[in-house]
Structure 1
Amino acid sequence: MTDWPIISTVIFLPMVGVLLLLFMRDDGPHGRQNVMIISLVTTIVTFLLSLVVWFGFDGNSPSYQMVEQYAWMANGISYHVGVDGISVLFVVLATFLMPFGVLTSWNAITLRPRDYMIAFLVLETLIIGVFASMDIVLFYVFFEASLIPMFLIIGVWGGPRRIYATFKFFLYTLLGSIFMLIAIIACYIEVGSTSIPALLGHHFSPEMQTWLWLAFFASFAVKVPMWPFHTWLPDAHVEAPTAGSVDLAALLLKFGGYGFLRFSLPMFPHASEYFAPLIFGLSVTAIIYASLVSLMQTDIKKMIAYSSVAHMGYVTMGIFAVNQEGIHGAIFQMLSHGIISGALFLCVGVIYERTHTRDISHYGGVVSTMPRYATALMVFTMANVGLPGTSGFVGEFLTVIGIFRVNTWVAIFAASGVILSAAYMLWLYRRIIFGALERQSIKELLDISFREKFIVYPLMAVIIFFGIYPAPVFDASAASVDLLINNYRAAVDALPSTALLVK
């Protein structure tokens, strides 16, 4: 493995699938099927290679591993990739979810399926590149370029208001990223390098940290998205095709949390300490506000979208608690939310293909005609609520413990989100699955197909497995999290109290 550029292979293998698709036709009796088969095989092989990365990763070492570095731009800006205990988990998450996106698009995408899958595979390369980058300019390139395929996926294959949703999504994220670009330039001028390890080892002055932290925050807060920067998300989710919603909720939202862990805490510890109360306030507001708004929704997708805003509030809260429970919980919550939210959107896609409506009032009594579907949705609903025995419980539990060690009142208000999530998710489940079977369209529904079983059953198994046995995630990230926390605390404690921004 030392001579094999496996990280680059994982990043760019989806582009091999893109090259194959460019020479294929998507019309004729077998054209669309061949496009989907090539895409599915490409994503599965990419996932298997990412498992090689995970199994070959030494969890006892906090340093980057499987590092590759090649000359790219002038003055030391290089193509520099590798993984540590945090990023390796997100690489695996990205590659794990992509095959499900192909499967759910199998029959749903009829308009230019080849072009759709090309955008889908390009997006996979860019997402993996974000998590594997060790150069901040390379990170920014992947980070921003991911907007392009998602822009196309929503704008071309989305719903009736797709143009409005697409431009809103694009402008929000692009505007925030402009500030991050300015901060990256300032970091390069200050340090003379764009290497992330070099930037992490540099001690920025407290005053400079304040402005740099705010610039990075502008980008990451939109991506999470934190309240009140979240308004683009419900529209994007509602108009996106099912696979686009999965990628958006499960992967692109994780860019913000990952950015806080990778840059904000280790590079700007004093500013992070100073602005932590702001993060706590915004996070608690997001948890309560988004949960209450979810209770008022009539569109299934929009309800799950607001649920994502609430659950990501636990992530930002746990990250800026900067303790073992908080950061471990935030990382696990991001991974778990990626799987659970992806599963929920996939379940929406299953019934939308049959009924072509997401209106909650249209359903009722689905358990009578789709018992297997009802079982799968029950597992995903309970996981989203945070039921013990599912992966959703572990992350929320740890983040609340982490924030409790920092601020009791914040923890109490945040814990109310658990009750509210149970209220809107159980309300959703009851309206869809139970009740009187009155509509003829619901009476004629067929239960999940053979293809759809390959979508829901593996996700159910993963959610339950990591809910019972989360150790593999903690084992991989423990050393990197320890290093992050120790360096953060050492930097904050080393600065004289009169110079600390928090004082």
Structure 2
Amino acid sequence: MNVSFILILLLFGAIATYFAGDQLAKKVALVFSLASVAGSIYIFNQHMAGIDTNFRENWISNPNLFIALKVDGLSVAMLLLTTALTSIILFSSFGNQYNNSKNFYALVMFMSFAMVGTFLSADAFLYYIFWELSLIPIYFIALLWGNGDAEERKKAIIKFFIYTLAGSLFMLVAFIYLFQKAGSLLIGDLYAIHLSGQEQFWIFLALFLAYAIKIPIVPFHSWQANTYQKAPAAGTMLLSGIMLKMGLYSVIRWQLPIAPVAAKMYMDVFIGLSVAGVIYGSVVALKQKNIKKLLAYSSLAHVGLIAAGAYTLTLDGLRGAVLQMIAHGFVVVGLFFAAEVIERRFNTQEISEMGGIRIQDNKFASMFMIVMLASVALPSTFNFIGEFTLLYSLYNANIWFAILAGTTIILGAVYMLKMFQHVMLGEAGAKVFKAVTTQETIVFVVIIAVLLFFGLYPKPINDLITPALQEIVTKINRQ
């Protein structure tokens, strides 16, 4: 079995979900999603055993384009993250009722298909198609099933759509230029192009605009908080847990190896922008009164740190970035799910209208606390491994970068503990918090198990991603 089977499975799952009807849609989607997890684990085992599961077929002869899928440690890690989180997100949504649920769950499955395609593509044109395809389902998920006033939601979602689409056009122009130089868009051929310093600068900048908006990096972040707030819980988890990783992954896979000279020349500038996002996101999070907006700005701070580590151009920086991408994916899904659990019972996102939950449901408070502590990188959690590695790489690049980026730990602890105090502690108010259901508990237990297991034993992921990242670092240092 080659890796194309996963894409076929997800696409067929989206179609089957739609035709299953509203009553069965969520169950069919979950079955296909879990099947994709099993397939991803199989691909992982094949890869670790040294068995080739790549896929490559000539698609169009003139111009010379391929359906090419690349399987290495980096793409397998993102494949596992995407399929696992998709299953968790689908299962977490079972507590909600959606109009036209067959459309909702089919769009979630189709979005997973597009994101997996983005992570696996080894031809830039195919990669661009999957990149754009992933935007369509989340646009409709957020617009049709989102929260709040319909007009405000529409404005927020259209702004998100325009921002990301505009950034993608810069990437498309860069790929067209590279095709003129190489006669192919296969990633190996693009890596082999010898570009002048000026050419690399413009290619690097074009790709940066696309990725900085998707991640997002300050000052290209203005779409994020409102979109996260207005999207339904599942949409917010898809955006924060997986979709933003497309930008971070693409920095490592496409931007740095294609334009390494420009990356080295302007390294301090892009690390500086990323660190600015860490500080900005943390400071703004301190002032938030809406729990989803607070988590959105917290996410902005954490992905800023990931981007900063990637732009150090070192093996430690890239490894820390990938470790933290995976850890952040699970923890941010856990945090947004906790916010959704509270909103289901209190019908509000305002922190001032919460409180006293621990008295009414100590189990939920305990599970929420563990995920929250993982978010602030408590030792023995997965996030600690990623953040420590990232800060170490920044320290080796410039000690001031490490000091400034380290504010994400201090300020993160302040706003997360403050939020926990207002939401969970104190006297119970007039609103009754019903005990978490078995389904909700399973979601939290799975997330917590991942965060603690890999916090104590990150070796399997390290062994998986390091060879692929070493190849990228070698390519960067070759020029």
- Both proteins in one fold, TM over 0.5: yes
> Is 1:447 aligned with 2:459?
no
> Is 1:325 aligned with 2:324?
no
- 1:8-87 matched pairs, under 5 angstroms: 8-26=4-22, 31=23, 34-58=24-48, 65-73=52-60, 74-87=62-75
- 1:371-450 matched pairs, under 5 angstroms: 371-437=362-428, 439-441=429-431, 444-450=432-438
- 1:275-286 matched pairs, under 5 angstroms: 275-286=266-277
2 CA distance for matches of 1:109 and 1:171? 29
Tell me the secondary structure at the aligned position of residue 286 of structure 1: helix
- 1:63-212 matched pairs, under 5 angstroms: 65-73=52-60, 74-159=62-147, 160=149, 161-212=152-203
Residue 21 of structure 1: how far off its partner (Å): 2.8
The total of aligned residue pairs comes to 475
Is 1:65–1:82's contact at 8 Å kept on the other side of the alignment?
Answer: no
1 CA distance for matches of 2:177 and 2:372? 45
Q: Structure 1 counterpart of 2:130, which letter?
A: F
Unaligned segments of structure 1, at least 5 residues: 492-503
Deviation beyond 6 Å, 4+ runs, structure 1: none
Is 1:156–1:162's contact at 8 Å kept on the other side of the alignment?
Answer: no
Q: Structure 2 counterpart of 1:466, which letter?
A: F
Tell me the secondary structure at the aligned position of residue 9 of structure 2: helix
Is 1:245–1:345's contact at 8 Å kept on the other side of the alignment?
Answer: yes
Tell me the secondary structure at the aligned position of residue 23 of structure 1: helix
2 CA distance for matches of 1:119 and 1:82? 25
1 CA distance for matches of 2:469 and 2:21? 47
1 CA distance for matches of 2:108 and 2:8? 13
2 CA distance for matches of 1:19 and 1:220? 30
Q: Which residue of 1 aligns with 2:450?
A: 462
Is 2:338–2:368's contact at 8 Å kept on the other side of the alignment?
Answer: yes
Q: Structure 1 counterpart of 2:475, which letter?
A: N
2:228 maps to which of 226, 237, 251: 237
Residue 149 of structure 1: how far off its partner (Å): 0.2
Q: Which residue of 1 aligns with 2:352?
A: 361
Tell me the secondary structure at the aligned position of residue 266 of structure 2: helix
Is 2:320–2:386's contact at 8 Å kept on the other side of the alignment?
Answer: yes
Q: Which residue of 1 aligns with 2:241?
A: 250
Residue 115 of structure 1: how far off its partner (Å): 0.6
Tell me the secondary structure at the aligned position of residue 69 of structure 2: strand
Task: Tell which deviates more after alignment, 317-326 or 213-222.
Answer: 317-326
Is 1:301–1:348's contact at 8 Å kept on the other side of the alignment?
Answer: yes
Q: For 1:279-312, what per-residue CA distance to the aligned partner results, in whole angstroms no more than 9, with x for missing partners?
A: 1211111111110100000111100100111001
1 CA distance for matches of 2:129 and 2:15? 21
Tell me the secondary structure at the aligned position of residue 379 of structure 2: coil
Residue 57 of structure 1: how far off its partner (Å): 1.3
TM-score (structure 1 length as normaliser): 0.92
Tell me the secondary structure at the aligned position of residue 202 of structure 1: coil
Residue 24 of structure 1: how far off its partner (Å): 3.0
Is 1:365–1:436's contact at 8 Å kept on the other side of the alignment?
Answer: yes
Q: For 1:358-413, what per-residue CA distance to the aligned partner results, in whole angstroms no more than 9, with x for missing partners?
A: 11011111011111111111111101101001011111111110011111111111
2 CA distance for matches of 1:18 and 1:269? 38
Q: For 1:324-345, what per-residue CA distance to the aligned partner results, in whole angstroms no more than 9, with x for missing partners?
A: 2211111101111111101111
Is 1:369–1:447's contact at 8 Å kept on the other side of the alignment?
Answer: yes
Q: For 1:404-431, what per-residue CA distance to the aligned partner results, in whole angstroms no more than 9, with x for missing partners?
A: 1111111111112210000001111111
Say if 1:487 and 1:22 are closer, same or farther in 2 by CA, change over 3 A: closer
Is 2:278–2:301's contact at 8 Å kept on the other side of the alignment?
Answer: yes
Is 1:65–1:84's contact at 8 Å kept on the other side of the alignment?
Answer: no
Residue 65 of structure 1: how far off its partner (Å): 4.4
Residue 250 of structure 1: how far off its partner (Å): 0.8
Tell me the secondary structure at the aligned position of residue 66 of structure 1: coil
Task: Tell which deviates more after alignment, 346-355 or 115-124.
Answer: 346-355
Q: Structure 2 counterpart of 1:278, which letter?
A: V
Tell me the secondary structure at the aligned position of residue 406 of structure 2: helix
Q: For 1:424-472, what per-residue CA distance to the aligned partner results, in whole angstroms no more than 9, with x for missing partners?
A: 01111111111122x221xx22221011122110100000011111111
Q: For 1:220-252, what per-residue CA distance to the aligned partner results, in whole angstroms no more than 9, with x for missing partners?
A: 000110001011110110011111111100111
Residue 203 of structure 1: how far off its partner (Å): 2.0
1 CA distance for matches of 2:436 and 2:265? 51
Residue 58 of structure 1: how far off its partner (Å): 2.9
> Is 1:334 aligned with 2:325?
yes
1 CA distance for matches of 2:308 and 2:154? 33
Is 1:104–1:242's contact at 8 Å kept on the other side of the alignment?
Answer: no
Q: For 1:105-129, what per-residue CA distance to the aligned partner results, in whole angstroms no more than 9, with x for missing partners?
A: 2231321111101111100100100
Q: Structure 1 counterpart of 2:40, which letter?
A: S
> Is 1:289 aligned with 2:276?
no
Q: Which residue of 2 aligns with 1:351?
A: 342
2 CA distance for matches of 1:488 and 1:71? 28
2 CA distance for matches of 1:14 and 1:263? 25
Is 1:104–1:349's contact at 8 Å kept on the other side of the alignment?
Answer: no
Identity %: 32
Q: Which residue of 1 aligns with 2:471?
A: 483
1 CA distance for matches of 2:18 and 2:318? 42
Q: Structure 2 counterpart of 1:217, which letter?
A: F
Q: Which residue of 2 aligns with 1:500?
A: none
Say if 1:107 and 1:69 are closer, same or farther in 2 by CA, change over 3 A: same
